[in-house]
Amino acid sequence: MSTSQQYTIVPDGGITTPRGFRAGGLHCGLKKTQRHDLGAILCEVPAAAAAVYTLNAFQAAPLIITKESLAASGRLQAFVVNSGNANACTGKQGEADARTMRASMAKAFGLQEELVGVASTGVIGELLPMEKLSQGIARLPEKVTFTGSDDFCQAILTTDLVQKMICVQVMINGQPVHIAGAAKGSGMIHPNMATMLGFMTTDVKIEPEDLQRLLNEVTDSTFNMITVDGDTSTNDMVAVLASGLTGSDALHPGHPDWAAFAAAFRHVAEFLAKAIARDGEGATKLIEVKIDGAETVEAARAIAKTVIGSSLVKSACFGADANWGRIIAAVGRASQPVNVETVDIRIGDIIMMEQSRPIPFDEERATEYLKGDSVHIYVNLHMGQHSATAWGCDLTYDYVRINAAYRT
């Protein structure tokens, strides 16, 4: 196990590692290829649940239905997820189809309908092929197993090149508790959620209200701090299910182990967020932007998002061009307080600006650094004590190629 101060990473763990969870996936015909396009997560008991959703005004039908389910009791027992079709901007028929998916999932596993969440991802504006979906959902019980994490991960992918999954272990009340996560996302990625679906499972005992507050806090510094292309989609969602099957005492913010659990929870979310950014459509490298010395956390986040979202900064990273002028320009247009006399900029460990004055640097060394698969940009405003980090990727020729033919 890889060990941190408060939690350990489980190398072969997945979303079925926490007690009480099964998962799986299959191909039902939504995708032209034979890759899985329908998946499910199932809990043995109604689980405490929490979710965050896209801030796009056009929210897809599955989000509406999931909100309805979650509002009933704050608990969910299963998720059914399809890729290849977003069921977004499909009107009343789309909502009816999402409800049919929920009902079919409930019937297949003998659950109450309001304990089922629904998620979809793929092309916007097309009705779901419900006959294929219904037949596929009826086959899910034979595919949903305690070893089905990989199949579920494959089922939720669209233009993703890699699966994104992690599991950690943390001690709560003297007992090992697991937190796991799986996500998809590669394009249409921007803060305020992205074209991403994230699912987290844990076996800790926790009330839905405390779980929701934690998810809200963690999302602001992880999933809402990534960007690929500046587009926020219609279907984005991160959901968490807590089975409560480990331990008898409920975890809460006043509990002595709360900080350890929150740190482990954040690690899972940050890992998934960074994996999405690294797997950006056409990307060749992960870019991390850290802002220090801001007057407020909000200012630090806004500036970090502006720099990481700059097409010029992203293009310069792709071309291995140490053009720090693009970075300072992005800092200055973030509509946040900046002292134009006190800014430092560093790429990797190469100082390029100090107290808002250019510093001579080795261009060849900077170019070699930028050719790597990870780029770290550091900006210190020297105005306060607050900081924030954002993640993204470079902007490449392949991004245009992929999105010029997304529907074909």
Structure tokens at 287: 């870019």
Q: Which residues are bridge partners to 288 per DSSP?
A: 376, 391
Does the annotation mark 159 as catalytic? no
The neighbour count for residue 109, using CB atoms within 10 Å, is 19
Among 16, 54, 121, 195, the active-site one is 195
Q: Which amino acid is at 231?
A: D
Pairing of strands 8-9, 21-26: unpaired
Between CA 202 and CA 169 the distance in angstroms is 10
Structure tokens at 369: 């650094």
Between CA 190 and CA 198 the distance in angstroms is 15
Nearest Cα to Cα of residue 306 among 243, 251, 388 = 388
Structure tokens at 291: 């802002």
C-alpha torsion sign, points 50, 152, 163, 120: negative
Half-sphere exposure of 35 (CA within 13 A, CB side): 20
DSSP three-state, residue 29? coil
Q: Which residues are catalytic?
A: 195
